[in-house]
């Protein structure tokens, strides 16, 4: 490997120094450049088309949220019409005494707890699976993998049935406890622990007299931070997007996350079209926090994915 | 052997090494397995129990319902239900359209992004990942509007071109919902595949180029085989994810009558629990869905490990 990294710059430098030697190659290079232009056009053109497919629906949401009900049905989709964005936001905010912001707050709370606490629980377990030796390790990890493979929605109804026996439906706990469980996070954390935390470091800490808990919180966890943030970010998105669990568990409108709340408004908008601009503007407002989080944390989720897949 | 080595070192170093034993591991594992037991194991066990029982009203239907053990009867009823089996068939068809479109699209886009002539890679990555930041509910809502005549620029543009199309009629609603899934998940998988492509040793590609392999040839016969492991993981999670299909049809069902309340198995189970109030059948259906997921994911893991060996 080291030879190739050395030889590559060397050979290109040699080519630059005496181009006469590569006389035969220059022709081929020129034709490649002509073909290169066509392929550059094709590749980037296709990339633009693909990205447009991804972006245009979101752009439509942005434009649509600036329109009132009449313009929504009356004007062309990407024309501005009467600019009613602020009016729409005011309508969203005033509906049922600010219920929408209550929903947003609930989503932030559910997803935040799931991300911060749920990921810590996963990271601790993954770290233990990687760094400790104990009995039944393989069979316990097998349970984790089975947990990864069972679809979430297949356990939602069973969870509801169980929660109604113990009287926990329609409480925040019906959401907060399930979101702490992230078997895939454990699996990822084990990979991160193996690649980020050298056993020697822990051994050294142990020699210095640090207990296993202390060395986890002062060495292991900081070293796994990029992995922790990645797991937390994906967990946050997962909980924020979760629809079936809160739909099934919660009846009290004050407890709903924004995903279920908006879908209730959508239900209203079928008989009452004046709700439509509120559904659209509310949708836009509800994705803004995630968009901001993704753009700001871009480096983390990308580096996290890289580390995960290289392993 | 590792354990043996460990115990000798423990004995040698005394207290300092007690940390690697089972008791410390337990300290780290208990929080996870506690929530795992509450959120997964207990519900599954309780559903199993429920699925073997039934509520029966005595005599004329007055008075308290009695819980009776009925064995596999609920499962038989679920499998005999025409609507459930139609839902399974629909889900199968959904998979057949969705998986090739989404995974194929992700592979092509990732390879394009990795091509040496690609520009502005960071920007494209961000744009393509954008839909993943949009919750499933909102994605379904946006597309529901984009499918609705009168409000949709898409339908309007097609009408302008002389094409009358109703995305929400009984024939087209399935591909329309597939499109929502493709929109939501392609970009996410592009990022994973692109990351895997970045890990392909540049020396191999350099060597191929020296040997005269063009960009497309290198993509097909060098890069693609090297991302197969990543691809098999994606397949696994795609299949598990597809079985969860619930949010999108639930939202779309409010916009059109083409999507019934029992359209896919998950909707069927939801309908059984909350509309028909038959919790025992709902439990049996949930167990069937979970079992189906287990069988399919086992099959994919087997298949991919065999492929990776070969």
pLDDT tens for residues B98-128? 999 999 999 999 999 988 778 888 889 889 9
- Whether the CB of A112 is below 8 Å from some CB of chain B: the reply is no
Q: Which residues of A touch B273 (CB under 8 A)?
A: 157, 160-161, 248
ipTM over 0.90: no
Distance spanning both ends of chain A, measured CA to CA:
18
- pLDDT value for B63: 62
Q: What is the mean pLDDT of residues B127-149?
A: 90
The residue ranges of chain A whose pLDDT is under 70 are 1-35, 74-82, 300-311
pLDDT band at residue B230 under the 50/70/90 scheme = confident
Give the closest-approach CA distance of B61 to chain A in angstroms. Answer: 24
Residue B112 to residue A47, Cβ atoms within 8 A? yes
On average, the pLDDT of chain B sits at 84
Residue B115 to residue A286, Cβ atoms within 8 A? no
List the single residue in A54, A73, A209 with the smallest CB-CB distance to B128: A54
* DSSP-derived secondary structure for B248-302: HHHHHTTT-TTS-TTSSHHHHHHHHHHTS--HHHHHHHHHHHHHHHHHHHHHHHH
Residue B141 to residue A262, Cβ atoms within 8 A? yes
Asked if the model's pLDDT at residue B208 lies above 70, the reply is yes
pLDDT band at residue B141 under the 50/70/90 scheme = very high
Q: Which residues of A touch B187 (CB under 8 A)?
A: 54
How many CA atoms within 13 Å lie on the side-chain side of A309? 27
CA dihedral B177, B178, B180, B185 (to 10 degrees): 150
List the single residue in A181, A237, A309 with the smallest CB-CB distance to B40: A181
List the single residue in B22, B119, B127 with the smallest CB-CB distance to A44: B119
Which of A15, A47, A178, A251 should be substituted to probe chain B, the one whose Cβ sees the most B Cβ atoms within 10 Å? A47
pLDDT digits (tens, 9 = 90+) for B22-72: 778 888 999 999 999 999 899 889 989 999 998 876 666 566 677 888 889
pLDDT digits (tens, 9 = 90+) for B257-289: 889 989 999 999 999 999 998 999 999 999 998
Residue of B nearest to A184 (CA): B237
Residue A157 to residue B269, Cβ atoms within 8 A? yes
- pLDDT value for A288: 87
How many angstroms separate the CA atoms of A160 and A138, rounded? 30
B78: enclosing H helix or E strand: helix B73-80
Domains and CATH numbers, chain B: 18-43 (no CATH), 73-309 (1.10.3720.10)
pLDDT band at residue B234 under the 50/70/90 scheme = confident
Residue of B nearest to A279 (CA): B141
- pLDDT value for A15: 38
Which of B8, B17, B32, B160 should be substituted to probe chain A, the one whose Cβ sees the most A Cβ atoms within 10 Å? B32
Bridge partners, residue B57, by sequence = B65
Is the CB of residue B252 less than 8 Å from the CB of residue B177? yes
């Amino acid at each position: 490997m080291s030879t190739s990294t050395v030889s590559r710059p060397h050979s290109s430098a040699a080519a630059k120094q005496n181009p006469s030697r590569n006389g035969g190659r220059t022709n081929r290079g020129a034709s490649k450049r002509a073909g290169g232009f066509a392929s550059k056009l094709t590749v980037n053109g296709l990339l633009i088309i693909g990205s447009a497919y991804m972006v245009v629906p979101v752009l439509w949401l942005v434009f649509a949220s600036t329109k009132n009900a009449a313009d929504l049905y009356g004007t062309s989709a990407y024309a501005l019409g009467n600019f009613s964005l602020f009016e729409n936001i005011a309508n969203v905010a005033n509906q049922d005494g600010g219920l929408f912001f209550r929903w947003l707050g609930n989503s932030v709370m559910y997803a935040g707890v799931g991300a911060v606490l749920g990921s810590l629980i996963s990271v601790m377990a993954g770290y233990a699976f990687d760094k400790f030796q104990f009995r039944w390790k393989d069979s316990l990890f097998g349970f984790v993998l089975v947990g990864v493979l069972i679809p979430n929605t297949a356990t939602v109804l069973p969870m509801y049935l169980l929660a109604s026996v113990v009287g926990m439906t329609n409480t925040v706990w019906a959401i907060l406890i399930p979101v702490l469980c992230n078997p895939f996070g454990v699996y990822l954390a084990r990979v991160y622990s193996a690649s980020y935390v050298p056993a020697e470091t822990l051994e050294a800490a142990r020699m210095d007299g640090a207990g296993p808990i202390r060395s986890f919180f002062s060495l292991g966890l900081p070293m796994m931070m990029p992995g922790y943030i990645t797991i937390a970010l994906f967990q946050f998105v997962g909980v924020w997007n979760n629809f079936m669990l809160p739909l099934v568990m919660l009846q009290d409108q004050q407890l709903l996350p924004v995903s279920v709340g908006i879908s209730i408004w959508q239900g209203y908008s079928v008989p009452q079209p004046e709700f439509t601009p509120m559904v659209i503007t509310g949708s836009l407002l509800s994705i803004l926090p995630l968009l901001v989080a993704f753009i700001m944390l871009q480096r983390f989720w990308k580096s996290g994915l890289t580390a995960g897949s290289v392993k | 052997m590792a354990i043996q080595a460990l115990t000798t070192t423990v004995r040698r170093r005394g207290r300092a090494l007690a940390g690697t034993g089972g008791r410390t591991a337990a300290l780290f594992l208990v929080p996870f397995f506690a929530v795992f037991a509450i959120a997964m194991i207990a519900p599954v066990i309780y559903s199993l129990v429920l699925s073997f029982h039934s509520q029966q009203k005595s005599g004329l239907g007055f008075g308290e319902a009695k819980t009776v053990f009925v064995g596999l009867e609920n499962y038989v009823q679920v499998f005999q239900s025409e609507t459930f089996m139609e839902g399974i068939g629909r889900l199968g068809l959904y998979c057949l359209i969705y998986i090739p479109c989404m995974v194929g699209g992700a592979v092509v886009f990732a390879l394009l992004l990795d091509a040496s002539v690609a520009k502005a890679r960071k920007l494209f990555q961000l744009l393509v990942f954008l839909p993943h930041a949009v919750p499933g509910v909102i994605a379904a809502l946006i597309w529901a509007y984009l499918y609705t005549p009168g409000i949709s620029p898409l339908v309007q543009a097609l009408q302008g071109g002389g094409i009358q199309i109703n995305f929400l009629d009984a024939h087209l609603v399935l591909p329309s919902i597939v499109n929502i899934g493709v929109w939501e998940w392609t970009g996410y998988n592009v990022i994973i595949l692109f990351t895997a492509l970045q890990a392909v040793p540049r020396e191999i590609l350099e060597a191929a180029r020296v040997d005269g392999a063009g960009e497309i040839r290198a993509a097909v016969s060098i890069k693609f085989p090297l991302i197969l492991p990543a691809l098999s993981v994606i397949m696994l999670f795609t299949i598990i994810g597809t079985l969860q299909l619930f949010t999108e049809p639930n939202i779309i069902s409010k916009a059109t009558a083409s999507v019934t309340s029992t359209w896919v198995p998950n909707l069927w189970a939801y309908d059984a629990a909350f509309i028909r109030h038959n919790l025992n059948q709902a439990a049996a259906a949930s167990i069937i869905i979970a079992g189906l997921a287990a069988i399919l994911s086992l099959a994919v893991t087997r298949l991919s490990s065999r492929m990776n060996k070969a």
